[in-house]
Amino acid sequence: MNRLITLSRALPAPEPGLTVAYTPIHLTMPGRQPLELRLTAPATGDTVPIVILSHGFGPSNYLPTKDGYAPLAQFWAERGIAVVQPTHASSRSGGRDPDLPEGPYFWRERVAEMRAMLDRIDEVERQAPAIAGRLDHGRVAVAGHSFGGQTVSLLLGGRLDGEDFSDRRIGAGILLAAPGRGGADLTPEHAARFPFFDVDFSFIDLPMLVVCGAEDDPHFTQRGPEWHADAFHDAPGADALLTIQGVGHGLGGIAGLDARETEIEAPDALEATRRLTLAWLRSHFAIEPEAWMKAQAALRHDASALAAIVAKAA
């Protein structure tokens, strides 16, 4: 029971179940230290779908690692989804030397790390005995917050300078406060510093949910919060845009509670983000095909002050 939430109680979600977590799971990587992962999954059940959650490049030292985003990862795992979290090469505490030529952002290596987890999911399971053999490798989605959204957009099919980074083992994705269009949409300073933001979303044909904070203040561009919704408008596969009211880049606290990443800690907004993203995942994984439709109806009727959803015509 969370006494801090009110309106978001109207949004349907299953009761939480027991989870089991393994960390650190190690995957060897050529020419560098091992990739460290956290795997959190339901304690029981088989054919459990998988979400690989890519962290951002936020201001904290430790939340942009496998150990961040507990408010979101734990919520999903308690309700039937296995969540795999890497510590990306860009992490301040557990990543690579930021002075390397590819640093400090390591955008290309982040994509390679996500693909390595897909390549070696059997190896990940072997290091998690209570979970081994219970994951459904045919139902995989990716989710990413902030810079993690840029990583995820490439894996879903976004192209950069014409290069295709897509991985068809992935069936769907969620962008959480992800960067919008690059190039001329950025300030000249940021366009020069972040050329890898110039992603062409028009090649993304996989189902995708785009989540934005209504009060987000992107400093990369002179555009407002709507910049973070660009992938919804440009990607043919993007089927819904979820805007959380009253919060900014941290979406109420998905990266961590009482943290620098969470510029506005808003328990009801966080709960709405968790419940609505879960409903979308449960529908796309066919755990509960009507979950997303039910969540939208509840939002319209009982909790419309929390968020707004724009859906593309089928």
Q: Considering the chain, what is the average pLDDT of its residues? A: 96
pTM strictly above 0.85:
yes
- Asked whether the predicted pLDDT for residue 45 surpasses 80, the reply is yes
pLDDT tier, 313 (very low <50, low <70, confident <90, very high otherwise): confident
pLDDT at 10: 97
Domains of the chain: 7-311 (3.40.50.1820)
Using one digit for the tens of pLDDT, what is the confidence trace for 55-72? Answer: 999 888 899 999 999 999
List all residues 6 or more positions away from 159 whose beta carbon is below 8 Å from its beta carbon: 165, 199, 200, 203
Query: For the segment 103-133, what is each residue's pLDDT rounded down to a tens digit?
Result: 999 999 999 999 999 999 999 999 999 999 9
pLDDT given at position 264 = 82
* Confidence band, pLDDT 50/70/90 cuts, at residue 265: confident
Q: What is the pLDDT of residue 60?
A: 87
CA dist 6 → 67, 70, 103, 154 (Å): 28, 21, 43, 37
Q: Which two tokens stand for residue 232?
A: 């919804």
Give the pLDDT score at 261: 77
pLDDT at 300: 96
How open is the CA angle 165-41-175, to the nearest 5 degrees?
Answer: 35
Q: For the segment 179-213, what is each residue's pLDDT rounded down to a tens digit?
A: 999 999 999 999 999 999 999 999 999 999 999 99
Q: What is the DSSP letter of 4?
A: T
Give the integer Cα–Cα distance in Å for 285 and 14: 15
Q: Which residues of 11-31 are buried (b: 16+ CB within 10 A; e: fewer)?
A: bebeeeeebbbbeebebeeee
The distance between the two most distant Cα atoms of the chain, rounded to a whole number of Å, is 54
CA atoms of 290 and 60, how far apart (whole Å): 38
Share of the chain above pLDDT 90, in %: 94
* Cα–Cα distance for residue pair 96/45, rounded to 1 Å: 36
Q: Average pLDDT for residues 267-278, to the nearest whole number?
A: 97
- pLDDT exceeds 80 at position 1: no
Q: Region 245-263: what's the mean pLDDT?
A: 88
pLDDT bin (cut points 50, 70, 90) of residue 262 is: confident
Instruction: Count the helix, strand and coil residues of the chain and give each as a percent rounded to the nearest 5.
Output: 30, 20, 45
Average pLDDT over residues 146-175: 97
pLDDT at 314 over 70: no
| pLDDT score recorded for residue 257 | 82
Write down the pLDDT at residue 305.
97
C-alpha distances in angstroms, 39 versus 23, 80, 126, 202, 292? 7, 13, 12, 32, 25
Tell me the residue ranges of DSSP E strands in 8-91: 19-27, 35-42, 48-54, 82-86
CB-CB contact of 63 with 255 (8 Å):
yes
